[in-house]
Amino acid sequence: MKIIVLVQCKDDVGLVAKISGLISSLGANIVSMREYVDTTQGRFFARLELSAFSDLSVVETGLRNVLPRDASVQVKTALPKRVVLLVTKEHHCLSDLLIRHHFQTAGMKIECVIGNHESLKELCSRFDVPFFHISHEEKSKDVFEKELLEKLSHFTFDFIVLAKFMRILSPAFVARFPMKIINIHHSFLPAFVGANPYRQAFDRGVKLIGATAHWVTDSLDEGPILTQQSIPVDHTFGVSEMVRSGKEIEVSVLAKALRLICEDRTFVYGNKTVVFE
């Protein structure tokens, strides 16, 4: 069983030596190590994989003792992450994640799917994944989110994934899950935030369209970016052609973002990310 160590702290001389020395002194073996220094912010980031080690707390305590006081240290066993998916009507992202979940290639376990329409219930049932319908119609946002939170309270999960959940969550809802909600946006952010980005792209006559997976914050479509991808388009592409092409990269971008998160390869600082692929 692999052990993952994540370190973020103020940069200083000899940090790599201190980390590797501490690990060696405990009799643990470093299988891999990636590090990065943001020289503009003076921040140090490192991700290590260790061979099996029985007492994780010893590793964490030891690192905190040798690293700067502001150090964030996480030591964890590499286990599948538990996720809840929120959906509306579009199936392409959900379908891909259900298949990856079924064949255990995603590094995650889908606890349930919650939709504000019933359209995707049958699809989930084919993969034996629980589906719950919570309609938003003729309800205030407060009532809808209260019902959503009540359903979520019955599950233990690491992350919420907005797999084409076409509803804007309130700041109060987002605040309950800081850096725990991932969204796939059908645009190469920061271009074309909000609704109908393919229409916006068409009207602007762009030559590239894309998709962005990002953490959800209070600011619409402005959370820290995890992954992005783009493809070329030209004057022959109408809105429908852009949508069709865009769905393919939405699937790819969301799947990649979740793989990186499930493998603990991402750090957040400020409104940016460090990603060790």
Give pLDDT tens digits for 77-100: 989 999 999 999 999 999 999 999
Task: Work out the pLDDT band at 199, boundaries 50, 70, 90.
Answer: confident
Give pLDDT tens digits for 175-197: 999 999 999 987 766 677 777 78
The reply to whether 172 and 259 lie within a common domain is yes
* Last residue of one domain, picked from the residues 77, 95, 113: 77
CATH code of the domain containing 26: 3.30.70.260
The reply to whether 35 and 109 lie within a common domain is no
| DSSP 8-state symbol, 224 | P
3-class secondary structure for 146-183?
Answer: HHHHHHHCCCCCCEEEECCCCCCCCHHHHHCCCCCEEE
Residue 161 has what pLDDT?
98
Indicate the number of domains in the chain. Answer: 2
The reply to whether 108 and 155 lie within a common domain is yes
The reply to whether 68 and 188 lie within a common domain is no
Residue range(s) defining the domain that contains residue 10: 3-77
Q: CA separation (Å) from 121 to 112, 126, 169, 172, 191?
A: 11, 9, 22, 28, 33
* Last residue of one domain, picked from the residues 61, 77, 93: 77
Residue 189 has what pLDDT?
65
CA distance 121 to 89: 10
Q: Greater confidence, 111 or 106?
A: 111
The reply to whether 219 and 269 lie within a common domain is yes
The reply to whether 187 and 250 lie within a common domain is yes
Kindly state the percentage of the chain with pLDDT values over 90: 77
Which residues are known catalytic residues? 221
The pairing of beta strand 30-38 with beta strand 43-50? antiparallel
The reply to whether 64 and 186 lie within a common domain is no
The reply to whether 103 and 175 lie within a common domain is yes
Give pLDDT tens digits for 140-186: 999 999 999 999 999 999 999 999 999 999 999 999 999 999 999 87
The pairing of beta strand 159-162 with beta strand 181-185? parallel
Question: What's the whole-number average pLDDT of the chain?
Answer: 93
Tokens of 258: 């979740």
Residue 200 has what pLDDT?
82
* Last residue of one domain, picked from the residues 14, 42, 77: 77
The reply to whether 72 and 90 lie within a common domain is no
